[in-house]
Amino acid sequence: MEIKYLLTIKEAASYFGIGEKKLRAMSEYCEGLFITNGTKLLVNRKKMEEYLDNCTTV
């Protein structure tokens, strides 16, 4: 599997084991983890990994 810089919501849900609905909800309050490309919501993989390393609950 190639390592991508940005993941779609579906890819991120599979990679991180977090539901798609939860990721979309997180995009509302987590600055810098998500990027929009038109209407497509993308997750910054490296920043999300750092965020999850430092949090206790999602």
Whether the full predicted model's pTM is greater than 0.75, yes or no, is: yes
Give CATH for domain 6-54.
3.90.105.50
More confident residue, 2 or 31: 31
Predicted confidence at residue 56, as pLDDT, reads: 84
Q: How far is residue 34's CA from residue 41's CA, in Å, rounded to a whole number?
A: 7
User: CA distances (Å), 17 to each of 1, 33, 36, 38, 39, in order?
Assistant: 17, 16, 21, 25, 23
Identity of residue 10: K
- pLDDT tens digits, 6-53: 999 999 999 999 999 999 999 999 889 999 999 999 999 999 999 999
Predicted confidence at residue 9, as pLDDT, reads: 97
With CA atoms as reference, report the closest residue to 14 among 54, 45, 55, 50.
45
